[in-house]
Structure 1
Amino acid sequence: MSRERATALLVDFDGVLRRWDPAVAAGVEREYGLTEGVLGEIAMSWGLLQPVLTGRVSHAGWMASVADALIPSVGDPARARAAVEQWQRYRGEVDADVLAFVRDARAAGIRVGLGTNATDVLDDDLAALGLTGELDVVVNSSVVGVHKPAKEYFEAACAALETPPSRVLFVDDEDRAVRGARVAGLSAHRWSGPGDLGYLRRALAS
């Protein structure tokens, strides 16, 4: 049985609409004598990450914890904080091809939401990247209080989009999120890069 045509699109932020240049973190790590990859490794450790994604800890508190974990490596709390602050000044880059896709979808009458596991600086990031007003809704896990891939997250996203799950197409670069969306009744596509856009455009048009 064929699925209903999607009338709403839910797009992930990091890894889809926003890209990160790994050279930025690598440069900070070299400058401060840190092991390559350690900033992301500490920040993404689940014990630090999960509370900030559900709004129980602020972005500032999260980064303070990362700095604390760096102290043994740099030998000085002020230097650890400086490394984290320098790293955090870079807020990523918009994928122009994905943004064009979002704009075309909205112009065609498709409601588009940003569906992201994010922190309390998301609105500031969207503004800094020129994305304010480019989406119909923003579904931020730290506001919702639950993160992808939980079914409750996708229920909240569909409610925000005012669209039943069967008519929402979700795009994410993480398998767990894609599987979670499908469990919640959404159509979901595992993003591998801008080469997927032709397929996604056809999926929305069919």
Structure 2
Amino acid sequence: MTHNRICRSPYDAVLCDLDNVIRFYDLTRLAELEHAAGLPPGTTAALAYGPEIDLPLLLGKITQEAWVDAVALGLADRVPEGTARALGAALARAPFRADPVVVSLLRRVRARLPLVLVTNATLELEDDLSTLGLADLADHVVSSARVGVAKPDREIYEIAAERAGVPVHRCLFVDDQLQNIEAAMALGMTGVHYRGPEDLREALAVVLEA
């Protein structure tokens, strides 16, 4: 794709997170299972997303099924084995959707600047993007499971900037996690803490209104 550079823009590429910016999960079923098991809300996710269990998945070293096994093992001292496995599976297979407002904004900006998704993801990411109808959303996708490094490791940002074809200090980086934004800004990127579509709209206004 050919991109028209906007001289007045403070950046030449947009690097954007996926989860909790573009993609959102429905954890209703997991919450119901936790309630039935007498577990505090969020127990399963807190365990599953801890670095010892989650990082091997995000680095592409284990499959999602192995991740579910690890979650079930971690819950084994609190609930019966069958319940523990059901909780892990409910998290792994939670339905998800894309925010149409964010998708629209990103499609518009991609017509003007390179767009790269930079995400801590699993080996299922490509299939997930196809399911969402977003396989063509970005010029490039930098997945932690494919490149072997995860945010906030500086290397994943450098890989993303290289694929965008611009220096790191000319990149806008959007994420919902402050530690990831701080790591990007330490490299000289412009950072945006995403809490809702207005944060993205404001950051992209200089490009979209040009």
Give the TM-score normalised by structure 2: 0.87
Aligned to 2:120: 117
Partner letter of residue 44 of structure 1?
A: Y
SS in 2 for 1:74: coil
Matched, 1:198 2:195: no
Residues 176 and 195 of structure 1: CA distance in aligned 2, closer, same or farther (over 3 Å): same
Q: Is the contact made by 1:48 and 1:65 (CA closer than 8 Å) also made in structure 2? A: yes
Counterpart-to-counterpart distance in 1, 2:106 and 2:35: 37
Q: Is the contact made by 1:93 and 1:129 (CA closer than 8 Å) also made in structure 2? A: yes
Counterpart-to-counterpart distance in 2, 1:35 and 1:5: 45
Counterpart-to-counterpart distance in 1, 2:91 and 2:57: 18
Aligned to 1:94: 98
Q: Is the contact made by 2:9 and 2:206 (CA closer than 8 Å) also made in structure 1? A: no
Q: Is the contact made by 2:29 and 2:90 (CA closer than 8 Å) also made in structure 1? A: no
Counterpart-to-counterpart distance in 1, 2:146 and 2:99: 24
Q: Is the contact made by 2:27 and 2:91 (CA closer than 8 Å) also made in structure 1? A: no
Identity of aligned residues (%): 34
Q: CA deviation at 1:134?
A: 1.3
Q: Which runs of 5+ in 2 are unaligned?
A: 1-7
Q: Which runs of 5+ in 1 are unaligned?
A: none
Q: Once superposed, what is the RMSD of the aligned Cα atoms? A: 2.0
Aligned to 1:170: 173
The CA deviation string for residues 10-47 of structure 1, in whole angstroms up to 9 with x for no partner, is: 11111111123443431232244433211101101121
| More moved, 28-37 vs 183-192 | 28-37
Q: How many residues align?
A: 202
Q: Is the contact made by 1:59 and 1:119 (CA closer than 8 Å) also made in structure 2? A: yes
Give the TM-score normalised by structure 1: 0.88
Q: Is the contact made by 1:29 and 1:36 (CA closer than 8 Å) also made in structure 2? A: yes
Residues 79 and 198 of structure 1: CA distance in aligned 2, closer, same or farther (over 3 Å): closer
Aligned to 2:30: 25
| More moved, 32-41 vs 117-126 | 32-41
The CA deviation string for residues 30-79 of structure 1, in whole angstroms up to 9 with x for no partner, is: 24443321110110112112222222222221121001122232223x34
2:107 to 103, 110, 113: 103
Aligned to 2:41: 36
1:11 to 16, 32, 37: 16
1:182 to 160, 177, 185: 185
Counterpart-to-counterpart distance in 1, 2:121 and 2:93: 17
